[in-house]
Chains A and B, each alone.
Chain A
Amino acid sequence: MFLFFALRCDYLGRMIRPEQLLAPTADGLFCPLGGFHIDPVRPVERALITHGHGDHARSGHDRVLATAETLRIMAARYGEDFANGGTPAKLGEAMRIGDVTVSFHPAGHVLGSAQIAVEAEGCRIVVSGDYKRRRDPTCLPFEPVACDVFITEATFGLPVFRHPDDGVEIHKLLTSLKDFPERTHLVGAYALGKAQRIICRLREEGYREPIYIHGALEKLCRLYEEEGIDLGELLPATLDAGSKTDFAGAIVVCPPSAFSDRWARRFPDPLPCFASGWMAIRQRAKQRGVELPLIVSDHCDWQELTETIEEIAPGEVWVTHGREEALVRWCALSGIAARPLHMVGYEDEAE
C-alpha cells in the first residue's frame, strides 16, 4: 500500500511531490498552486478553515472558505466582519481553486468541523484539522478519506491516553450530583463544542433540570440550538437568577478558566469538575484543583489515532501538533513514513 501511493505520487508521470502541494510555513499550511492557506495563524489573503476553535479560525483574513456552520461560529465569536468575504463550503463537494481541487469532509470534532482534502496531479493530501472518532450528538461523524498524505494532530498522541466511554463519565457527574445535592457542580468545558456536547449528553442520559451557563457560553449555545441541536432548558448562571442557594445541587457549565475567576465565588461550596482528555492524568487534575475529573475529549485517543492511520493507510503521515514524537515513533515501528511538521500556534485542548 505504502509503495503504491509513493509511486502514484512521485513516479507515475505525475510530477508533483506532496511538499509542492502543501508546505508548512510560519503562517500555517500553504498551497502555492491554489494560493491559499489552511488554518493560518496570521491574517492572509485566502484562508480555508477546518473548524471554529480560536487557534484554527482567526479573524482578519481577506476571504474565508469554510463550512456554513464554521462561518457562523466565526461571525458569532469575532463579529460579522471577521473577514472581507466568507464562502460556505458544502461537505463532499469538489471545488476548483487555482490549479487544485479542494473538498471538505466531516471531522467529528465540533459542529461544522471538517477535514480539507487538497488534490492536484493525482496527489491528494487530507488536512484533518482536529478530529475524533467517537459518537458526538452535536456534530457529524468523521469520514475517512483515502489519500497519499494524511495530516493529523497528535494532541493525545501517547499510549497513556485511552478515553473511556463518555457515558461512563456523564454518569460519574450524575452520581456525584446525587451524592452531593448541596454542592454546585461547576463543570469546566471549552466554550465551543465540549460545553454543548456535555449538555447534550446529559440530556440524552435523562437529566431534565435546567442547566446554568456562564455568560461566555451563551452565544455559542444559542447558535447550536438554532442549528437544531436540542440543549434543553439553559439559564444564565447569574446571581439575579436567584439567591445563592438556588445553585445548590445544580450543574453550572463554564469555561475552565472561570474556576479561578472571582465569578466562581457566587456558588455555595462549588465542586470543580473538568471535562477534558487531560483529566486521565491524576496530577493534572490535582494541579488544577479539580475534584471530579471527567475524561471527555473532542480529540482521538492513542488507539483511535493509530487505528485511523491504519484505516486510511496513507503513503505518508505528517503530524501537526501535540505529542508528535510519539506518533511519529509509532509510525516508524509500523513501517509508515511519517514526519513532524513542528507547527506553532496550535494549542492543546482547552488547557
Chain B
Amino acid sequence: MPTLFTGQKRLFHSSEALTYTAMEKFAALLDRLILTPSRNGKLRLLEDYFRTTPDPDRGWALAALTGALDVPSVKPAMLRAMATERLDPVLFGYSYDYVGDLAETISLVWAPSPAASEGAAPSLSAVVEALFSASRSEGPKRVAAFLDALEPSSRWALLKLVTGGLRIGVSARLAKQALANFGAQEINAIEEIWHGLSPPYEPLFAWLDGHGERPVSAARAPFRPVMLAQPLEEGDRPAITPEVYAAEWKWDGIRVQAVSDGGVRRLYSRTGEDIGEAFPDVLEGLDIEGAIDGELLVGRSVDGRIEAGSFSELQQRLNRKSVTGKLVVSHPAFIRAYDCLVDGEEDVRALPFRHRRSRLERLVGRSLAGRVDLSPLLPYDHWDALAAQRLAPPAPIIEGVMLKRWDSPYEGGRPKGPWFKWKRDPFVIDAVLMYAQRGHGKRSSFYSDYTFGVWRQGEAGEELVPVGKAYFGFTDAELIEIDRFVRRHTTGRFGPVREVEHRPDLGLVFEVAFEGLNRSTRHRSGVAMRFPRIARLRWDKPPAEADRIEALEALLDAGDGGPAALRRARGAPV
C-alpha cells in the first residue's frame, strides 16, 4: 500500500520565532497550531516551543493548552463590555457576527488608547501574575493596558490565554504527548505525575530538560498509567489455553481508574483526566481503600441493586462537566472492577494477575455502597467453548472477550502478549453515498468525507435518509476511485460539499461497519452510529438494493446487542 496520505513527513522549524517577544511567540504557536492539520506537525510545533521558550512562560503556555489556567478576575462578558467602550456597540456586533470568536474580534478591532505608554510588550508570566493578583474590577483594566501594548495577533493570544477555551485543535493529551517527545520520556511517566503538578510546572520542565529529578507526585490518590490490551490475531490463538489465560467479558462503558487514598477519592479516565465531577455518585460510593481498574457503566436501580444499561444510557452522563441530581437518580453509575493496582497502602502492580484478582475480590467484597462490583471471570475448557460464549454474550453491553495471562504484572501502556481483546464483530449495512466533502491536509484535493444513507418510505415515495458519516476504512487506491466517482457524478455543490448522484439505478454503495447505534434527535434519520467506517466498496451493487432504515430501527429496539443478522451475516469480519 502506498503511504501517500499518512501524515506529513516534513515538519516545522521555528527558528524565526527567536526574535519574537514572548507574547508574539505564543501567538505564532497558536496561529500555526490552528492551521496545521497533521497531528505530527502539531506535536513538532509544541516540542519546538517547549524547547525554545524559557520558564516560566512555557509553563503558563502549557497550562493554557491543557485547560489548567483559570483567571478569575477576567470573564468574557467583561471583555465585551471593555471593547464596546472603545468601539460603537453596533459596529462591534457586526464584527463579532462576522468573525464568530470573541477573542479574535476584540484583538482585531482594538484601537490602542492614545494615552497608552510605549511600554515593552509584557511576557506571559507578567500577564498571568498581574491578572491573578487583580480584583474583578481591576482585571479588565489591566487587560486593557496589556492590549494597548500589543500587536493584534498577540492581543488575540493574550485574550485566549486569560479566557481559556483555546479551541485550537489541541487536546490536553496531545500537549502531554509533546512534552513526552520533548523530554524523550514515555507519556505514561508524565500522566502518572500530572495531577500532583501545577502551573508553571518548573520542576516538570527541569526534569524534561534533563537537569532535574522526576517530580514525585505529592498529591493523594494519584493516577497510575493504565494497562491496555492488543487485539487478538489469528496467530495468537494457539497460546490461548485456560491454564495460561484468564477470560472475562469486555464491557462497553468507559475505562476508568478509581482511587481512594486516605480520604481523597478520584476517578480518572484512561488518559489520566480527572472525571470525578461528572460522577459524584460513584465517588460517594467508593468505600474502598486502594486503586482499582474497571469499567464505568450506567444502569437502572433494580431492588436496590444496579443493573447495567446500554451505552446510550451512559452517554446521557458523558460530556457533562457537572451533573444534576435528577440524572444521578435516573442514570446511576457504578464501576465493574477488572483489576487491583493498590490494595490499602500496598502497590500490588508487580504481582501476577492471579494474585491481584484475589486482592480485588477481597477489596470489592468489603464495599457496602453498591457502587463497585466484580467483572466475573469466564470459565472455559478450550478455545471453541470460549468462541461460542463470545458469540452469545448474556448482556447487550458486552462488546467481546478479554484474555489476560494469569502471570502478567500490571504494566502501563499496551504491551504485546499479556493481554488480548477479542471484540465482537462489527455491525454492517449497505448504504448509499449521498454527499462528499473535501478532506484536509494531504487529502485537501480529495473528496474523502462521506455522508451515506439508507432507504425509507418518504412522503413522496422511496427516499434515502442520511444515517452517518465516515472518512476512513478505505485504501488510498479506493480513495482515488471514490474521488473520481464523486467528481463525475456531482449533482449539487454547497461550499466544500458535493451532492452525489444517488438514484436507485445510479450511485455508489458502501458496506459500512459500525460498533453500535444510538437514538439521536440531531439526525434526520433518528439514529447515530458509533465508530462508522467504510468496510468495502460495492461497485457491484445497485443502490436500490442497499439497506432500509427498518433494519437499523430493529437494531435500536434490540439494544446494543442487536440482531445477529446485521453482524455476521455478511461474512468476513472487518
Q: List A residues at the B interface (Cβ < 8 Å).
A: 158-162, 175, 179-180, 182-183, 259-262, 264-265, 269, 272, 280-283, 285-287, 289-293, 323, 325-326, 329-330, 333
Whether the pair B15, A179 counts as a contact (CB closer than 8 A) is yes
Whether the pair A158, B445 counts as a contact (CB closer than 8 A) is no
Q: How far is the CB of B167 from chain A (nearest CB, A)?
A: 10
Whether the pair B438, A260 counts as a contact (CB closer than 8 A) is yes
Q: How far, in angstroms, from A329 to B35 measured CA to CA in the complex?
A: 33
Q: How far is the CB of B573 from chain A (nearest CB, A)?
A: 34
A-B contact pairs, 11 of them (CB 8 A): A159-B95, A160-B95, A160-B108, A160-B109, A264-B445, A282-B34, A282-B35, A282-B101, A283-B99, A286-B34, A292-B35
Q: How far is the CB of A312 from chain B (nearest CB, A)?
A: 21
Known contacts A265-B445, A281-B99, A282-B31, then 14 further A-B pairs from the complex at CB < 8 Å, ordered by chain A residue: A158-B95, A159-B87, A162-B152, A179-B15, A182-B10, A259-B444, A269-B9, A282-B104, A283-B104, A286-B35, A289-B438, A293-B35, A329-B94, A333-B88
- A-chain residues with CB within 8 Å of residue B539 when the two chains form the complex: none
Q: How far is the CB of B365 from chain A (nearest CB, A)?
A: 54
Q: How far, in angstroms, from A159 to B83 measured CA to CA in the complex?
A: 12
- A-chain residues with CB within 8 Å of residue B56 when the two chains form the complex: none
- B-chain residues with CB within 8 Å of residue A323 when the two chains form the complex: 94, 98
Against A, the Cβ 8 Å flags (1 = close, 0 = not) of B108-134 are 110000000000000000000000000
Q: How far, in angstroms, from A46 to B100 measured CA to CA in the complex?
A: 43
- A-chain residues with CB within 8 Å of residue B91 when the two chains form the complex: 158-159, 326, 329-330
Whether the pair A291, B35 counts as a contact (CB closer than 8 A) is yes
- A-chain residues with CB within 8 Å of residue B10 when the two chains form the complex: 180, 182-183, 269
- B-chain residues with CB within 8 Å of residue A260 when the two chains form the complex: 438, 444-445, 496
Q: How far, in angstroms, from A323 to B97 measured CA to CA in the complex?
A: 12
- B-chain residues with CB within 8 Å of residue A290 when the two chains form the complex: 35
- A-chain residues with CB within 8 Å of residue B496 when the two chains form the complex: 260, 287
| CB contact between A259 and one of B36, B98, B445 (< 8 Å): that residue | B445
B90 adjacent to chain A (CB < 8 Å): yes
Q: How far, in angstroms, from A287 to B34 measured CA to CA in the complex?
A: 10
Q: How far is the CB of B465 from chain A (nearest CB, A)?
A: 27
The answer to whether A289 and B36 touch (CB under 8 A), given A269-B9, A329-B94, is no
Q: List B residues at the A interface (Cβ < 8 Å).
A: 8-10, 12-13, 15-16, 31, 34-37, 87-88, 90-92, 94-95, 98-101, 104-105, 108-109, 152, 438, 440-441, 444-445, 496
Whether the pair B35, A281 counts as a contact (CB closer than 8 A) is no
Q: How far, in angstroms, from A287 to B439 measured CA to CA in the complex?
A: 10
- B-chain residues with CB within 8 Å of residue A272 when the two chains form the complex: 444
Q: How far, in angstroms, from A180 to B100 measured CA to CA in the complex?
A: 32
- A-chain residues with CB within 8 Å of residue B9 when the two chains form the complex: 269
Most buried by B among A160, A175, A290: A160
Whether the pair B104, A281 counts as a contact (CB closer than 8 A) is yes
Whether the pair A179, B12 counts as a contact (CB closer than 8 A) is yes
The closest CB in chain B to the CB of A302 belongs to: B109
- B-chain residues with CB within 8 Å of residue A287 when the two chains form the complex: 496
The closest CB in chain B to the CB of A265 belongs to: B445
- A-chain residues with CB within 8 Å of residue B105 when the two chains form the complex: 160
Q: How far is the CB of A269 from chain B (nearest CB, A)?
A: 5
Q: How far, in angstroms, from A262 to B99 measured CA to CA in the complex?
A: 31
Whether the pair A175, B16 counts as a contact (CB closer than 8 A) is yes
| CB contact between B37 and one of A264, A281, A289 (< 8 Å): that residue | A289
Q: How far, in angstroms, from A269 to B16 measured CA to CA in the complex?
A: 22
Whether the pair A329, B88 counts as a contact (CB closer than 8 A) is yes
The answer to whether A269 and B109 touch (CB under 8 A), given A158-B95, A260-B445, A281-B104, is no
The closest CB in chain B to the CB of A264 belongs to: B445
Q: How far is the CB of B223 from chain A (nearest CB, A)?
A: 33
Whether the pair B152, A289 counts as a contact (CB closer than 8 A) is no
Q: How far, in angstroms, from A290 to B31 measured CA to CA in the complex?
A: 12
- A-chain residues with CB within 8 Å of residue B15 when the two chains form the complex: 179
The closest CB in chain A to the CB of B87 belongs to: A159
- A-chain residues with CB within 8 Å of residue B88 when the two chains form the complex: 329-330, 333
| CB contact between B101 and one of A182, A269, A283 (< 8 Å): that residue | A283
Q: How far, in angstroms, from A290 to B35 measured CA to CA in the complex?
A: 7
Whether the pair A158, B444 counts as a contact (CB closer than 8 A) is no
The closest CB in chain A to the CB of B32 belongs to: A291
The closest CB in chain B to the CB of A290 belongs to: B35
Whether the pair A261, B13 counts as a contact (CB closer than 8 A) is no
- Return the 8 tightest CB-CB contacts between A and B, nearest first: A160-B108, A289-B444, A159-B109, A326-B94, A160-B95, A264-B445, A179-B13, A291-B35
- A-chain residues with CB within 8 Å of residue B108 when the two chains form the complex: 159-162, 280
- A-chain residues with CB within 8 Å of residue B13 when the two chains form the complex: 179
Q: How far, in angstroms, from A21 to B92 measured CA to CA in the complex?
A: 35
Q: How far is the CB of B7 from chain A (nearest CB, A)?
A: 11
Q: How far is the CB of B435 from chain A (nearest CB, A)?
A: 16
- B-chain residues with CB within 8 Å of residue A262 when the two chains form the complex: 445
Whether the pair B99, A289 counts as a contact (CB closer than 8 A) is no
Q: How far, in angstroms, from A24 to B445 measured CA to CA in the complex?
A: 41
- A-chain residues with CB within 8 Å of residue B104 when the two chains form the complex: 281-283
Whether the pair B99, A291 counts as a contact (CB closer than 8 A) is no
- B-chain residues with CB within 8 Å of residue A179 when the two chains form the complex: 12-13, 15-16
- B-chain residues with CB within 8 Å of residue A330 when the two chains form the complex: 88, 91
Q: How far, in angstroms, from A280 to B101 measured CA to CA in the complex?
A: 13
Q: How far is the CB of A186 from chain B (nearest CB, A)?
A: 10
Q: How far is the CB of A253 from chain B (nearest CB, A)?
A: 17
The closest CB in chain A to the CB of B111 belongs to: A159
Q: How far, in angstroms, from A182 to B8 measured CA to CA in the complex?
A: 12
- A-chain residues with CB within 8 Å of residue B99 when the two chains form the complex: 160, 281, 283
Whether the pair A285, B90 counts as a contact (CB closer than 8 A) is no
| CB contact between A291 and one of B36, B87, B94, B101 (< 8 Å): that residue | B36
Whether the pair B100, A283 counts as a contact (CB closer than 8 A) is yes
Q: How far, in angstroms, from A286 to B101 measured CA to CA in the complex?
A: 14
The answer to whether A285 and B98 touch (CB under 8 A), given A175-B16, A259-B444, A329-B88, is no
- B-chain residues with CB within 8 Å of residue A286 when the two chains form the complex: 34-35
The closest CB in chain A to the CB of B105 belongs to: A160
- B-chain residues with CB within 8 Å of residue A265 when the two chains form the complex: 445
- B-chain residues with CB within 8 Å of residue A269 when the two chains form the complex: 8-10
The closest CB in chain A to the CB of B14 belongs to: A179
Q: How far, in angstroms, from A175 to B105 measured CA to CA in the complex?
A: 27
- B-chain residues with CB within 8 Å of residue A160 when the two chains form the complex: 95, 98-99, 105, 108-109
The closest CB in chain A to the CB of B98 belongs to: A158
Q: How far, in angstroms, from A158 to B88 measured CA to CA in the complex?
A: 12
- B-chain residues with CB within 8 Å of residue A161 when the two chains form the complex: 108
Most buried by B among A159, A175, A286, A325: A159
Q: How far, in angstroms, from A158 to B98 measured CA to CA in the complex?
A: 9
Q: How far, in angstroms, from A237 to B10 measured CA to CA in the complex?
A: 22
Q: How far, in angstroms, from A292 to B35 measured CA to CA in the complex?
A: 8
Q: How far, in angstroms, from A51 to B95 measured CA to CA in the complex?
A: 29
Q: How far, in angstroms, from A280 to B98 measured CA to CA in the complex?
A: 12
Q: How far, in angstroms, from A269 to B152 measured CA to CA in the complex?
A: 31
Q: How far, in angstroms, from A175 to B16 measured CA to CA in the complex?
A: 8
Q: How far, in angstroms, from A323 to B94 measured CA to CA in the complex?
A: 9
Whether the pair B35, A285 counts as a contact (CB closer than 8 A) is yes
Q: How far is the CB of B348 from chain A (nearest CB, A)?
A: 48
Q: How far is the CB of A280 from chain B (nearest CB, A)?
A: 7
- B-chain residues with CB within 8 Å of residue A180 when the two chains form the complex: 10, 12
